[in-house]
Structure 1
Amino acid sequence: MDLHTFLLAFATFILTGTINSSNAEIFGNQTVRDILIKNRCLCPCGPSTLDSWKSFLIPFSEGTWFEAISYCNEMGMSIVQIRNKHDSKELQDWLNGQEYEQGESFWIGANDLARAGIHRWGLTNKQVKFEEWATGEPNGANIRGEIEHCVQLVTDTMKWNDAVCSKKLKFICERFVQ
């Protein structure tokens, strides 16, 4: 399957809202769920026990938001989700020990691809409840014909900015470890 077909399937999945409602055949005899499973884009995106903690990874390469999702899942991880102040602080503490350029931005899992203004986490379809938007964000700007639907984290401030999903950025993957 080519990248275009996968991205179309992923967008269809996001727009349907859940994996269970994506059982309609869209490519021959393949459903969105089939395509996501085949491309390893389904993940357990939460702690398996109460004593779980997060492990983070910043890959060396940059990618679009969709490529970030795919890469993290290929590694058995998910794109980072910042669910509360504790998650934000934990990530900030970890980032402080990493080498990256001052002011660098990273993709995180939040997006409003399914419905403008309603942000959800990556592939979980869980609504974003904790938000750390930079002043004036999210603004859903139109950049050369593409609307900003995906969210980047600005490391200097730990604030969020919406950006076009096709922008190439570094990204942060996470995995819950017991």
Structure 2
Amino acid sequence: MAVFFLSSFVLLLVLVQHSKVWGHNIVNLRCEVPTHGGFLSHHPGTGTVDTCTCTKTKEKVADLEKKIRLQQEQLVKSDALLSNLTDTLGSALEKIEKMEEKLKECPLGFVELGGSCYYFSTAKKTWPQAQEHCQSLSANLATITTKAENEMIAANLSDSVPYWWIGANDRESEGRWVWVATNATLTFTNWMKGEPNNAFEGTEHCGMIYWKKEKNQWNDIGCTRNFQFVCERSRI
């Protein structure tokens, strides 16, 4: 009887020991994955992979993949936002350019010719009064620097008015003709033959366009005469 119990006890110990070994092997098999070499790399000397380490690694990979997906989604949203902002900015710049262009238009009463604004008066004034009137409009009596500009201005003069004041004068220094707007010496001129001659007792110090008779040529004449006039200013 004693032999039977002893034998049974030994058998039970053997079964328990084998059960522990089998459980350990099952745990090890959870992280064993076939690879091109046969198995996943093992911890040195054990032939197994730590289950906890394997699980944590998988969790880290999954977490990184999730973060990457979130960043990619955020990048797509950022690209869309940037595209919208670019379109909005482009539209705003276009509106600003149109507003700037509109602001550069000539003021009421002026005509745009060749990039400048011109005012052709209907009232007659002396040369000093004409200049004063031009200045009240933020302008000056016209400065003419090219033949093309002279013809352009003349083309807009009234057919019924032969004489028009312009900004040429030698009021400060006899014989030194300058433009009232800049005090610059005349470089282009279109004087009538024999002009300027300072006739009538040396009182002709202001310039005009003799439009009707002399084909847009200039003449010097007394500044106290009353003529219509041409003002000039830059675009706003």
Q: Structure 2-normalised TM-score?
A: 0.48
Question: Gaps spanning 5+ residues in structure 2: where?
Answer: 1-113
1:125 maps to a residue whose letter is N
Percent of aligned pairs with the same residue? Answer: 29
Confirm whether residue 62 of structure 1 aligns to residue 118 of structure 2. Answer: no
CA RMSD of aligned residues (A): 1.8
Q: Greater relative contact order: 1 or 2 (C-alpha under 8 angstroms, separation 6 or more)?
A: 1
1:154 maps to a residue whose letter is Y
Q: Which aligned segments of 4 or more residues in structure 1 are displaced greater than 6 angstroms?
A: none
Structure 2 CA distance for aligned equivalents of residues 127 and 116 of structure 1: 12
Match of 2:136 in 1: 74
Give the alignment partner of residue 185 of structure 2, picking from 115, 127, 131. 127
Question: Gaps spanning 5+ residues in structure 1: where?
Answer: 1-51
Structure 2 CA distance for aligned equivalents of residues 118 and 63 of structure 1: 24
In the TM superposition, 1:157-176 aligns within 5 A as 157-176=215-234
Quote the offset at 1:111 in angstroms.
0.4
Tell me if the contact between 2:122 and 2:228 (Cα under 8 Å) persists in the aligned partners. Answer: yes
Quote the offset at 1:86 in angstroms.
2.5
Confirm whether residue 150 of structure 1 aligns to residue 194 of structure 2. Answer: no
In the TM superposition, 1:6-155 aligns within 5 A as 53-95=115-157, 99-101=158-160, 104-142=162-200, 147-155=203-211
Structure 1 CA distance for aligned equivalents of residues 224 and 159 of structure 2: 21
Quote the offset at 1:93 in angstroms.
3.2
Secondary structure class of the residue paired with 1:69: helix
Q: Deviations over 1:3-61 (max 9, x none)?
A: xxxxxxxxxxxxxxxxxxxxxxxxxxxxxxxxxxxxxxxxxxxxxxxxx7122112221
Tell me if the contact between 2:151 and 2:216 (Cα under 8 Å) persists in the aligned partners. Answer: no
Relative to its length, the structure with more strand (as a share) is 1
Tell me if the contact between 2:168 and 2:180 (Cα under 8 Å) persists in the aligned partners. Answer: yes
Tell me which structure has the larger Cα radius of gyration: 2
Structure 2 CA distance for aligned equivalents of residues 92 and 167 of structure 1: 20
Quote the offset at 1:63 in angstroms.
0.6
Quote the offset at 1:117 in angstroms.
1.1
Match of 1:43 in 2: none
